[in-house]
């Protein structure tokens, strides 16, 4: 019996991100196999009322550090609190979402606790009685299974959209913690939100992406219209980003974001290895490209050889009909 | 300003990955490049160093890593340090321990690195270095201004960005968009050959076996299973679009 598996809650402005529920759901399974308790760790300001709901996804316990100094995520504030809690309770494992904040926090806490951290994992299992994680390396061109044999806690960041959310009717015990956020050297001067009603790329269930075939920045409106019918995010290949048609924050691929949506629609994307690395673990891939020899067709579940400016609006209309 | 840039050499982005008979990633015959994110870090260092400033590039790797250091020197960095870990089984903890030890002996106002490397994709070494050296860190930065002993960095987050101010010295990790890395000029390449490159080992820096022991152990390497070949939806655009919509609903069942 060790001391529990922890899931660090990802929240922004009090809104809990889906990856938290994914980690709790999968964490529940390994916790049961190990005979461990599953705890959620919630850091923020004015977030206490969210704590009990985490039981619905499998948490036995919720540690809450509710402190005005934790209103905004800061590396120092969150590291100081999470590391202090880990030193107090000595959990067996700490899981975080592989998000901008999760990745940032995990590295600091792992070093402070002198332990190992497996990043951007896509699989979690028990191997010889200990937690092992599978993670892509070389941008998904290979996979490594790894563990942290001696150091504790075992730490991992896990890619969003990998594990299914499952409800578990648990009543979570809520424990208020007063760990000190300490001196915070990062001063948040401004938070700039992109004005978009579409989901964020790495969290999206459906992504409509454009490449060199888009030809001009204004043509992305064709993809946006399809995206709006599907409730999808818009993405882009490196070619489109390097041409200056769309910002790098939309780039999918080895030097951009790695995504795992249920449906990925690649429009005018040739399928360079650098792009495939970022999206080939999507559950279903659709490709629309003029070139029948394009590499993207080798990974696409469904392909249409044709002009995207003709096909995409038609597809939008057909989907609208079906989904009505 | 004195700036230290941490960098590493990685496989080329076009490299095909092969698993050898020992179950390890085959390194032979693979062309190597400077990790692209580290190029942004070098460029930012060169932009910020100013007239009397200095950029020192550091890597923790075997002798093969010196090509990336030479490239940084050719871009305009002033000196380079290569620390050989002296062991093959290194993880992010080991690498950060070595880099921090090498940097601790230098004068610096700012440490920059790529926010992640394209090989292991861990995005944790620079953060660990900051923690060891007791410095504040801002990760995944797309815009950086340094003045009056402070760095103001724009950090990419989901669905937007944040502007973060930290006191110097600080650790900053570079994201694409921060700058456009320069290509080394012919003159730069010639000059790089005369610039100082210190080669040392982790042991010489006073790090013993215990200090370097990795925390993470790789159990096995595999290649992802190839996606089953899909199919082309035939017909002119209107029919193909209609059929595709039907397939997504009835066959794939995802719409």
pLDDT digits (tens, 9 = 90+) for A109-138: 999 999 999 999 999 999 988 999 999 999
Residue at token pair 């693979």:
B30
Strands (DSSP E) contained in chain A are 5-8, 11-12, 15-16, 38-44, 61-66, 93-97, 117-121, 123-127, 130-137, 142-147, 154-158, 173-176, 187-193, 206-210, 233-236, 263-267, 284-289, 302-305
State residue A140's pLDDT score. 86
Task: Determine the pLDDT at residue A2.
Answer: 61
pLDDT at A277: 87
* pTM (2 d.p.): 0.93
pLDDT for B74-94, tens place per residue? Answer: 999 999 999 999 999 999 999
B255 and A305 within 8 Å at the Cβ level: the answer is: no
User: Looking at beta carbons, which residues of chain B come within 8 Å of A315?
Assistant: 241, 244-245
Mutation target vs B (from A12, A225, A251, A314; most B CBs, 10 A cutoff): A314
When pLDDT is cut at 50, 70 and 90, the band that residue B3 belongs to is very high
Contacts of A279 (CB under 8 A, 6+ apart): A207, A209, A235, A252, A253, A258, A259, A264, A266, A285
Tell which of A73, A79, A137, A295 to mutate to test the B interface (max B CBs under 10 Å).
A137
Residue B33 has pLDDT above 80, yes or no: yes
Q: Which of B160, B215, B218 sits opposite A192 (nearest CB)?
A: B160
Give me the pLDDT at residue A97, please.
Answer: 98
- Closest CB from A108, A263, A281 relative to B127: A108
Q: What is the pLDDT of residue A197?
A: 82
Segment B202-212 shows an average pLDDT of 97
pLDDT tens string B42-58: 999 999 999 999 999 99
Decide if A193 and B160 are in contact by the 8 Å CB cutoff: yes
Point out the residue among B214, B230, B242 whose CB comes nearest to the CB of A301: B230
Q: What is the pLDDT of residue A170?
A: 87
Q: Out of B36, B218, B247, whose CB is closest to A255?
A: B36
Rounded-to-integer distance, Cα B16 and Cα A51, Å? 46
Cβ within 8 Å, pair B245-A318: yes
What ipTM was reported for this prediction? 0.95
The predicted model gives A181-207 an average pLDDT of 92
Q: Residues of B with CB below 8 A from A139's CB?
A: 13, 118, 121
> What DSSP string describes A77-109?
HHHHHHHHHHHHH--SEEEEESSHHHHHHHHHH
Q: Which residues contact A243 (CB under 8 A, 6 or more apart)?
A: A212
- Asked if B131 and A111 come within 8 Å (Cβ–Cβ), the reply is yes
Q: What is the DSSP letter of B57?
A: E
B147 touches chain A (CB under 8 A): no
Q: What are B153-182's pLDDT values in tens digits?
A: 999 998 899 999 999 999 999 999 999 999
Q: How much of chain A, in percent, has pLDDT values that exceed 90? A: 89
Q: Which of B120, B155, B241 sits opposite A318 (nearest CB)?
A: B241
Identify the pLDDT of residue A143: 96
Average pLDDT, chain B: 96
**Hey, how many other C-beta atoms are within 10 angstroms of the C-beta on A29?**
16
What is the interface size between A and B, counted as CB pairs within 8 Å?
266
Instruction: Decide if pLDDT at B183 tops 60.
Output: yes
Contact B216 A185 (CB under 8 A): no
The chain B residue lying nearest A307, using CA atoms, is B237
Q: Which site among B18, B89, B118, B121 would you substitute to test the A interface, given the most A Cβ atoms closer than 10 Å to its Cβ?
A: B121
Provide the H-helix boundaries in chain A: 18-34, 75-89, 100-112, 220-230, 238-242, 273-279, 308-323
Q: Is B165 on the interface with A (CB under 8 A)?
A: yes
pLDDT at A1 over 60: no
Could you tell me which of A83, A85, A133 has the C-alpha nearest to residue A111? A83
Across the interface, of A116, A138, A318, the residue whose CB is closest to B11 is A138
């Amino acid at each position: 019996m060790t001391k529990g598996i922890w899931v660090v809650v990802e929240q922004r402005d009090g809104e809990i991100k889906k990856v938290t529920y994914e980690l709790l759901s999968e964490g529940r399974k390994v916790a049961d196999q190990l005979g461990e308790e599953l705890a959620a760790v919630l850091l923020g300001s004015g977030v206490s009322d969210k704590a009990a709901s985490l039981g619905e996804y499998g948490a036995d316990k919720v540690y809450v550090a509710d402190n005005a100094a934790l209103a905004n995520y800061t590396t120092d504030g969150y590291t100081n609190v999470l590391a202090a809690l880990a030193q107090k309770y000595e959990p067996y494992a700490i899981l975080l979402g592989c998000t901008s904040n999760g990745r940032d926090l995990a590295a600091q806490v792992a070093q402070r606790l002198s332990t190992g951290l497996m990043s951007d994992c896509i699989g979690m299992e028990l191997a010889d009685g200990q937690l092992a994680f599978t993670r892509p390396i070389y941008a998904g061109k290979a996979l490594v299974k790894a563990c942290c044999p001696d150091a504790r806690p075992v730490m991992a960041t896990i890619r969003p959209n990998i594990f299914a959310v499952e409800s578990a009717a648990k009543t979570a015990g809520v424990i208020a913690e007063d760990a000190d956020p300490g001196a915070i050297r990062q001063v948040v001067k401004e938070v700039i939100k992109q004005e978009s009603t579409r989901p964020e790329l790495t969290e999206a269930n459906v992504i409509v992406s454009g490449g060199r075939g888009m030809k001009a920045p204004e043509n992305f409106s064709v993809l946006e219209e399809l995206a709006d019918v599907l409730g999808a995010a818009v993405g882009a290949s490196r070619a489109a980003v390097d041409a200056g048609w769309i910002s790098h924050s939309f780039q999918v691929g080895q030097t951009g974001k790695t995504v795992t949506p249920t449906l990925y629609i690649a429009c005018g994307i040739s399928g360079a290895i650098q792009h495939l690395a970022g999206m080939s673990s999507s559950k279903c891939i659709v490709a629309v490209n003029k070139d029948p020899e394009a590499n993207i067709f080798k990974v696409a579940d469904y392909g249409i050889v044709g002009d995207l400016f003709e096909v995409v609006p038609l597809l939008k209309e057909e989907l609208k009909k079906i989904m009505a | 300003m004195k700036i230290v840039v941490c960098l590493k050499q990685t496989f080329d982005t076009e490299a095909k990955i092969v698993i050898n008979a020992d179950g390890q990633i085959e390194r032979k015959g693979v062309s190597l490049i400077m990790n692209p994110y580290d190029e942004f870090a070098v460029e930012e260092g060169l932009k910020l160093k100013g007239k009397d400033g200095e950029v020192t590039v550091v890597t923790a790797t075997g002798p093969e890593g010196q090509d990336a250091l030479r490239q940084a020197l050719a871009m305009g960095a002033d000196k380079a340090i290569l620390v050989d870990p002296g062991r093959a089984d290194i993880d992010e903890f080991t690498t950060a321990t070595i880099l921090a030890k090498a940097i601790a002996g230098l004068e610096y106002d700012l440490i920059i690195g790529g926010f992640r490397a394209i090989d292991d994709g861990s995005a944790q070494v620079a953060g660990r270095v900051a923690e060891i050296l007791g410095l504040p860190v801002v990760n995944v930065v797309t815009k950086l201004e340094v003045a009056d002993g402070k760095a103001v960095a724009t950090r990419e987050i989901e669905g937007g960005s944040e502007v973060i101010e930290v006191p110097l010295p600080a650790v900053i990790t570079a994201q694409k968009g921060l700058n456009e890395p320069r290509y080394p000029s012919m003159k730069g390449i010639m000059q790089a050959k005369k610039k100082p490159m210190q080669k040392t080992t982790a042991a010489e820096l006073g790090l013993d076996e215990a200090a370097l022991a990795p925390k993470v152990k790789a159990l096995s390497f595999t290649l992802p299973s190839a996606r089953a070949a899909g199919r082309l939806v035939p017909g002119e655009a209107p029919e193909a679009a209609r059929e595709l919509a039907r397939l997504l609903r009835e066959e794939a069942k995802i719409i």
